[in-house]
Amino acid sequence: MGIGVFDSGVGGLSVHHRLVDQFPAADFVYLADQANTPYGGRPGEEIVELTRSGCERLFAEGCNLVVLACNTASGIALRRLQQTWLPGYRRELGRPVNVLGIIVPTIEAATGLPWEHEAERRGDKVEKLDILAVFSTPATAASRVYEIEIDKRRQDVAVFSQPCPDLAGLIEQGASREVLAADIASHVTAVTRRIGRSPDRAILGCNTASAIALRRLQQTWLPGYRRELGRAVNVLGIIVPTIEAATGLPWSHEAAPRAINDGLKAEQIDVLGVFSTRATTG
């Protein structure tokens, strides 16, 4: 099975690498739309068309499944493509193809509930709110997808989305740690002021930020910050639930390692757009 991974930039390589680890026999194609990155500040219709074009390119390369490793594309374009474009495109191609995103598994991870679950509206008083901050692109924040979908499932979770218009671009441009820290700190301060206190949990709703910052925050900053606050807080990313949904396996699962001489061949992993060349190492 050919699997395509699509992102507006290079943050999706984290998803791509993990999928390769989980499916060592599969053929992969990675497409980064570097010409139009970042997507987060673009109008919705343009995001839909750019995402559709990327999916078509990957299907043309022989992929049967495309994973949208871009939070903005998943939040803005995925449902519309699945409902209005994909059925006709399957008939046109004459073969089964599918597109998955990263919003659904992230919502499931944030709520602890399956996507199909919807809470009963009984008017019960919520004794304690779980405050969740979502740091994302402006387009994702404006869509309110996290607020809407989490509220359907958990009335005791209050979501505050914080648009971060420059973060993905700064990461893609290789900004210094100091510049990134200042930008992130400004968004943390802004959402904390809106809430009136620090959130209980946070989601890095941008694959680029999640790939670069999440593990470092969890390992080096979060333990001390928990002690400073005196309560349990957590930071979630979108990579782990995406991989679990795409593979059907828990994050802790590791595929059997390849032999030393069983490297990935040129026909197994193609890279489109990022380096503008096919992989040639064997």
Q: Which of 55, 63, 70, 164 is catalytic?
A: 70
Active site residue 63: no
Full 3-state SS string of the chain: CEEEEEECCCCCHHHHHHHHHHCCCCEEEEEECCCCCCCCCCCHHHHHHHHHHHHHHHHHCCCCEEEECCHHHHHHCHHHHHHHHHHHHHHHHCCCCEEECCHHHHHHHHHCCCCCCCCCCCCCCCCCCEEEEEEECHHHHHHCHHHHHHHHHCCCEEEEEEECCCHHHHHHCCCCHHHHHHHHHHHHHHHHHHHCCCCCEEEEECHHHHHHHHHHHHHHHHHHHHHHHCCCCEEECCHHHHHHHHHCCCCCCCCCCCCCCCCCCCCCEEEECCCCCCCCCC
Q: Which of 55, 63, 164, 206 is catalytic?
A: 206
Active site residue 206: yes
Residues annotated as catalytic (active site), given as ranges: 70, 206
